[in-house]
Structure 1
Amino acid sequence: MAKEVDDIYNELGISTEVINYDNVRVSYQQLAILRRSNKDYVMKHEWNQTFLNDTCGKCFTLANGCFKFTSSDYLLFPIIHEDHWFVFIVALHDGYFIFIDSFFREDDMYQQNVKSTVIPNFVRAWDEFIGIDWNFHEFVIHYAPVPKLDLKFFSKYDDRIFVMKFLELWDQRVNLIQKFSSSHIPDIRVQYMNIMVFSPHNCNNDAKDKVRNHTAMLELKRRF
Structure 2
Amino acid sequence: MSSSGGKVPLHGPRRILVPAKHASDPFVVCTKRRFTVSDQENKFYLAICRIANSTKWQSHDAVDIDTVRAKFYSFGHSFEKFGMLSPYVMSVFCRVLFHDNHPSKSKRNYFFPSIGAQLTIDINDVDLEKVEKSFKGAASARKLHLCDMLYFPILYQQHWFVFLVDLKDRMLVFLDSIHEEGDDFFEPILPHIDLQSIFQVFKSSSHMFQSKFLGIFSMKYMELWSPRVILQNEFSKDNINNIRVQYANRIFFHPNNKMLGTEVEEVVLNWFDHYNYMFNLHVCFSI
TM-score normalised according to structure 1 size:
0.72
Partner residue, 1:113: 188
Structure (1 or 2) with the larger CA radius of gyration: 2
CA displacement 1:108-155 (0-9 Å, x = unmatched): 2002332232x23xxxxxxxxxxxxxxxx5xx5221132459566x55
Query: 2:66 matched to 1:10?
Result: no
Distance 1:182 1:8, change over 3 A: closer
Alignment of 1:84-95 (within 5 A): 84-95=159-170
C-alpha separation between the residues in 2 aligned to 1:197 and 1:191?
10
Asked whether 1:35 is paired with 2:90, we answer: no
Question: Residues 218 and 78 from structure 1, CA distance in 2 versus in 1: closer, same or farther, beyond 3 angstroms?
Answer: farther
Correspondence 1:190 to 2:245: yes
CA distance in 1 between partners of 2:125 and 2:67 (Å): 31
Unaligned 5+ runs, structure 1: 121-136, 220-224
| SS of equivalent residue, structure 2 residue 163 | strand
Q: More displaced, 90-99 or 21-30? A: 21-30
- In 2, Cα distance between the equivalents of 1:164 and 1:181? 13
The alignment status of 1:98 with 2:142, answered yes or no, reads no
Gap change, CA 1:65 and 1:7, over 3 Å in 2: closer
2:221 is the counterpart of 1:166? yes
The yes-or-no answer on 1:82 pairing with 2:133 is no
Change over 3 Å in CA distance of 1:106–1:41 after alignment to 2: same
Q: Percent identity?
A: 28
Mapped pair 1:143 → 2:143: no
Question: Aligned equivalents of 1:80 and 1:216: distance in 2?
Answer: 37
1:55 positional shift: 1.7
More helix by share: 1
Stretch moving more, 170-179 or 194-203: 194-203
Q: Which residue of 2 aligns with 1:65?
A: 140
Conserved 8 A contact 2:63-2:252? yes
Which amino acid is the alignment partner of residue 10 of structure 1?
T
Structure 1 residue identity aligned to 2:197: I
Q: Determine the C-alpha separation between the residues in 1 that align with 2:202 and 2:255.
A: 32
TM-score by length of 2: 0.58
Equivalent AA in structure 1 for residue 200 of structure 2: A
Q: 1:15: how far off? A: 6.4
Distance 2:235 2:267 in 1: 30
Distance of aligned partners of 1:84 and 1:8 in 2 relative to their CA distance in 1, 3 Å threshold:
closer
- SS of residue matched to 2:69: strand
